[in-house]
Amino acid sequence: MPQLVEPKLMSGNANLPLARSIARRMSMHRGINVDLVNARVERFNDQEVYVEVYENVRGEDMFIIQPTSNPANDNLMELLIMADALKRSSAARITAVIPYFGYARQDRRSKARTPISAKLVANMIVEAGIERVLTMDLHAAQIQGFFDIPVDNLYASPVFALDIKNQFKGKLNDIMVVSPDVGGVARARELAKRINAPLSIVDKRREKAGEVAEMTVIGDVKGKKCIIVDDICDTAGTLCKAAEVLIEAGATEVHSYISHGVLSGPAVERISKSVMKSLVITDSIEATEAVKKTKNIRIVPTAPVFAQAILNIWNGTSVSSLFDHETLEPIYEGIL
């Protein structure tokens, strides 16, 4: 098989700004112009997805950039149909770059007669002809095992560690990393180790889904600048309540670092009125105008890490090297 000249990028409508940013970063790394493949991804009047690729992709190494965020079903169908279009156009390999993997919260049967939707979505992705998946901070690590193809799961924590060291320079001894629930302890511990900070937990009891009845802080947060770490912020109810509980327990400041800012329903209003000094999210999901205008929400870019990961996959080199914040430091120099 002839050596492929360059990786080729294609994007759906889920997060075009991120796709363009990844293309720009790859152009900087390669020293030549890398652009998105010329294609149209549109809707018929009845909202059926239609895809047409205007460039020759025969024998090419294709990367489809498409988070399956809100509207999850539309964006998922775009991904599957783009993959089918590329497969039928004789692309050599198709990699799905899914910065936010929708349906990840349905990763097990929590009750009788419920689906495991994450597994169903994994099956659909494989059947569409996708041969590799690149994603970030899966809600549950075991979702990688739902796929019968390679899955590279990047982590936001190295990027967050760089940002914290920059934002809290000279104050790192005052920081306490906090997990908002027992299930997120491993994620919070990972970040705490990276910045050499202690760990605390907020134990929450739910009466029913979406409502938190009681919260208790496990650990001494008095006089500390608390950093809550989680992978998803949806309606922000738990997050804002946890911030209040931490302030009541003696924390001087509360900040949050969340990988995926779903931020649906009343989330933005809650955050703007919250005692949280800042909420830091990535751009894995395209931010709405309301999110961009909220003063205590800040967005850190993922394009540098995704661009490097795509190049590593294309070159056949290590993706796990990007798990180390020291590897990412030169990539993010001057950005954070």
Domain-embedded: residue 1:
no
Binding site for D-ribose 5-phosphate, by residue number, is 206, 230, 234-238
Interatomic CA distance for residues 237 and 187, integer angstroms: 20
pLDDT, tens only, 16-60: 999 999 999 999 887 778 899 999 999 999 999 999 999 999 999
Does 150 lie in the same domain as 98? yes
Does 146 lie in the same domain as 45? yes
Domain-embedded: residue 2:
no
Does 210 lie in the same domain as 275? yes
The boundaries of the domain holding residue 94 are: 8-155+303-331
Does 161 lie in the same domain as 235? yes
Specify the pLDDT at position 1.
42
Catalytic residue IDs: 204
Does 311 lie in the same domain as 276? no
pLDDT, tens only, 300-334: 999 999 999 999 999 999 999 999 888 899 999 88
Does 117 lie in the same domain as 31? yes
Does 171 lie in the same domain as 43? no
pLDDT, tens only, 113-168: 999 999 999 999 999 999 999 999 999 999 999 999 999 999 999 999 999 999 99
Number of domains in the chain: 2
Question: In terms of C-beta distances under 8 Å and separation of at least 24 residues, what long-range contacts does 113-118 make, across chains too?
Answer: 118/143, 118/146
Binding site, by residue number, is 46-48, 105-106, 139, 181, 206, 230, 234-238
Q: Bridge partners of 97?
A: 65, 134
Q: What is the pTM of this model?
A: 0.94
Mean pLDDT of the chain: 94
Interatomic CA distance for residues 237 and 252, integer angstroms: 21
User: Structure tokens of 50?
Assistant: 């239609």
Tokens 């961009």 belong to: 292
Contacts of 324 (CB under 8 A, 6+ apart): 158
CATH number for the domain that contains residue 285? 3.40.50.2020
Does 140 lie in the same domain as 12? yes
Residue 88: its H or E element: helix 72-88
Contacts of 184 (CB under 8 A, 6+ apart): 229, 230, 231
Binding site for Mg(2+), by residue number, is 139, 181
Contacts of 213 (CB under 8 A, 6+ apart): 205, 206, 207
Specify the pLDDT at position 190.
95
pLDDT, tens only, 92-108: 999 999 999 999 999 99
Q: Determine contact, residues 186/180, Cβ cutoff 8 Å.
A: no
Does 208 lie in the same domain as 164? yes
Q: Bridge partners of 42?
A: 50
